[in-house]
Amino acid sequence: MSKDLVSFIQDLYGTNGRIPLHEPFFDDRDKELLIETVDSTFVSSAGPLISDFEKKIAEYTGSKYSIAVVNGTAALQISLELSGVNSGDDVITQSLTFVASVNAILQCRASPIFIDVDKETLGMSPESLKNFLEEHCEIREKGCWNKKSRNYIKACLPMHTFGFPCEVEKLKTLCRKYKIKLIEDAAESIGSFVKKKHTGLFGDFGILSFNGNKIITTGAGGMLLTNNKKNAQLAKHITTTAKLPHKWNFDHDIPAYNYRMPNLNASLGITQFEKLPFLLKEKRRIANHYKDWGNHNGYYVKDESRNTTSNFWLNTLIAENKKQRDEILEDTNKALIMTRPSWTPMHKLPFNKKFQKGSLKNTNWLADRIVNLPSSARNVKN
Ligand SMILES: *Cc1c(COP(=O)(O)O)cnc(C)c1O
């Protein structure tokens, strides 16, 4: 059966050779501005292109403020820190995510709590979150008290999986009620919206990633989004060594990070951003091809959920069972087509086994069935 999928993908990308999962898309504009940037000598964390890129992202997403940093994980860590997450606190996240979400929590010396995802959105399930909070938590003066761990739950970190938005409005209502800060891991979802609002703008912070495998890339890079002026100023301050502005003096008021995105990377950000509308159109076209193929061949290929716009970053087939999933992975990879299963769920990683979790029924079900399909915008037929 999955032989059909092999020839379909080979036809889509016009080759019997290697087909990567997700290649970056570069053109002469990227190279030209990179050379100009090198010639300008401003290659590190000072330079005009960094704030230019920040402005473009703020304007596109509708975020009041945006702070460019070295990668998405750093953006997550800073968002958590500025949300008051400290050693001995709890942070709720989903188990079906890339390890960066959890690493950022652990970098703050906090404990993750793993909540189930929704089968339809692939993102954090509002119902599972509600069940967990009702069973284990008490709303106190100081915040959300976890009766089991005897810690405060300071933040909730849902993720928009593969670019498909989760039900973030419902999550927000729950977080408000329980006095929990909401941080959206929108690393995979630039160009994805809930109704007309860009992902990453629903909570206290949102973060984007510009890693080489995302829709647009700065090589490595990330962006913090927030509508709160004070948080934006603090984020800029602690990601730029907390240097106090002065013409020549080097004064710093707190220990801080060197997390500013370099100008060289921001150069790519500027020229990649110009291509975003084109890339989003291409992604939607590829997704439509996959969905048509799925409809004709009896496979479920993930589509947009109600009231959402997806960027279709990584197309996702949900196999009927683990056996079919494994067959698809075998057949496609043997034909040099790079398909991938979901990440190992976070609660199954050895260093995460000790942490609290809700029922993870959907997470385990999906982890046995997800197949990510090649989704590069390059060399794809019409
Ligand atoms: C890519 C990604 C990140 C951030 O990754 P960086 O490589 O640090 O930019 C975070 N979370 C998720 C879900 C991701 O896919």
Rounded distance from Cα 270 to ligand 1 centre (Å) = 20
pLDDT in tens, 63-91: 999 999 999 999 999 999 999 999 999 99
* Separation between Cα atoms, residue 356 and residue 341, nearest integer Å: 25
- Tell me the CA–centroid distance for residue 263 and ligand 1, in Å: 20
Mean pLDDT of 99-113: 98
**What pLDDT is attached to residue 150?**
98
3-class SS of residue 184? strand
Residue 310 to residues 197, 283, 303, Cα–Cα distance (Å): 12, 10, 8
Residue located nearest, by CA, to atom 14 of ligand 1: 187
Q: Which of 102, 211, 215, 343 to mutate to test the pocket of ligand 1 (most atoms within 8 A of CB)?
A: 211
Q: Which atom of ligand 1 is nearest to the CA of 97?
A: 13
CA of 18 to the centre of ligand 1 (A): 25
Residue closest via CA to ligand 1's atom 4 equals 72
**In this predicted model, what pLDDT tens digit does every residue of 309-320 receive, in sequence order?**
999 999 999 999
306 C-alpha to center of ligand 1: Å? 25
pLDDT tens for residues 169-217?
999 999 999 999 999 999 999 999 999 999 999 999 999 999 999 999 9
- The pLDDT of residue 52: 98
pLDDT of residue 1 exceeding 70, the answer is: no
Q: What is the pLDDT of residues 141-160, one digit of tens each?
A: 999 999 999 999 999 999 99
Mean of all residue pLDDT scores within the chain: 97
Residue nearest ligand 1's atom 2 by CA = 187
Does residue 336 have a pLDDT over 80? yes
pLDDT band at 253 (very low <50, low <70, confident <90, very high): very high
Residue 223 has pLDDT above 70, yes or no: yes
Burial class (CB in 10 A: 0-12, 13-18, 19+), 56: middle
Which residue in 368, 371, 366, 364 sits closest to 294, CA to CA? 371
Distance 11 CA to ligand 1 centre (A): 30
pLDDT of residue 379: 81
Q: Cβ < 6 Å from ligand 1: which residues?
A: 71-73, 97-98, 100-101, 159, 185, 187-188, 209, 211, 222
Q: How far is CA 233 from CA 82, 91, 171, 273, in A?
A: 11, 24, 26, 24
Supply the residue whose CA is at minimum distance from atom 5 of ligand 1.
72
Please check the confidence at residue 382 and state whether its pLDDT lies above 90.
Answer: no
- 220 Cα–ligand 1 center, Å: 10
pLDDT at 381: 81
- Return the percentage of the chain with pLDDT > 90, whole number: 98
Pocket test of ligand 1: the residue of 71, 94, 209, 265 to mutate, having most ligand atoms within 8 Å of its CB, is 209
Residue 2's pLDDT is 66
pLDDT for res 214: 98
Ligand 1 center from residue 71 Cα (angstroms): 8
Q: How far is CA 90 from CA 65, 139, 144, 262, 343, in A?
A: 27, 14, 10, 32, 23
Nearest to 88 by CA among 147, 146, 151, 137: 151
**Rounded distance from Cα 330 to ligand 1 centre (Å):** 27
Confidence label for 380 from pLDDT (cuts 50, 70 and 90): confident
d(CA 182, CA 190): 18
Is the confidence at residue 164, as pLDDT, over 70? yes
Ligand 1 atom nearest 75 alpha carbon: 8
How does pLDDT run across 12-51, given as a tens digit for each residue?
999 999 999 999 999 999 999 999 999 999 999 999 999 9
Angle between helices 229-238 and 72-82 (to 10 degrees): 120
The proportion of the chain whose per-residue pLDDT surpasses 70, expressed as a percent, equals: 99
Question: How far is 160 from 122, CA to CA, in rounded Å?
Answer: 8
Alpha-helical regions (H) of the chain:
2-13, 28-40, 48-61, 72-82, 99-107, 126-136, 168-177, 229-238, 263-297, 322-334, 361-367
